[in-house]
A = this chain, B = another copy of it.
């Protein structure tokens, strides 16, 4: 039943990665007044196949009613509980360069349940300046943030050269979940989760497809 790719509670990693999408679709439906939804319609809204949605949800439990569908509010509650969104998650952003400042100012972090409680930087020049309503703190403040504020999620927005060092500091302070915007592979001890977001990578993948398509179109013209 459980395998190497399963998370501690037996939910496959790929399923966990899709749950936020279902949650967003459900919230939209609930706001529109829909009290019940079928796997077919929720799957369409989420951009997945109905059987995949049902298989994913089956890992959480049996919260649907055969012949009817899923109660919107119930499913929202269950997925929220599974993801751990019933509590608040304090977030700290490390690295106040171009990207870090953009992230600090970006309202997108103010999603329900997440709150940026601290901004940090290794440069003494930057420490003490005020960004997006918060005073930038030195890296040395990390342990106190973890113990006093329950900091559990760190966002790395430093240049690649400083990323590993900042990552190590976060891990040493007790942070176990890291979102890495720096274009580097981070080495972390087991038990620490790193997710990576990289614009350059995304653009290059898109370039591949544009390139391939241009090639195909060219070949077609030549061949026809």
Contact = CB atoms under 8 A, between A and B. Distances in A.
B45 A84 contact: no
A185 B83 contact: no
Nearest to A180: B202
A59 interface: no
A23 B204 contact: yes
Interface stretch (A32-40, A65-73, A98-106, A164-172): A98-106
Contacts of A152: 210, 214
Interface in A149-197: 152-153, 176-179, 183, 185, 191, 193, 195, 197
B215 A8 contact: yes
Interface in A5-59: 7-9, 16-17, 19-21, 23-25, 45-47
Contact of A213 (B176, B183, B205, B206): B176
Q: Give the residue among A84, A87, A108, A204 with the most B Cβ atoms within 10 A.
A: A204
A124 interface: no
Contact of A111 (B45, B193, B200): B200
Contact of A195 (B25, B91, B185, B202): B202
**A contact patch SS:** helix
A172 B207 CA distance: 19
Interface residues of A, number: 64
B8 A203 contact: no
Interface in A194-224: 195, 197-216
Interface of A: 7-9, 16-17, 19-21, 23-25, 45-47, 82-85, 87, 89, 91, 98-99, 102-103, 105-109, 111, 113-114, 152-153, 176-179, 183, 185, 191, 193, 195, 197-216
Q: Give the 9 A-B CB pairs with smallest separation, nearest first.
A: A84-B211, A102-B102, A47-B185, A177-B206, A20-B204, A20-B201, A111-B200, A8-B212, A193-B209
23 contacts: A16-B205, A17-B201, A19-B208, A20-B200, A21-B201, A45-B185, A83-B205, A84-B210, A85-B207, A91-B203, A98-B105, A98-B106, A99-B108, A111-B200, A111-B203, A114-B207, A153-B203, A176-B210, A177-B206, A177-B209, A191-B213, A195-B202, A197-B199
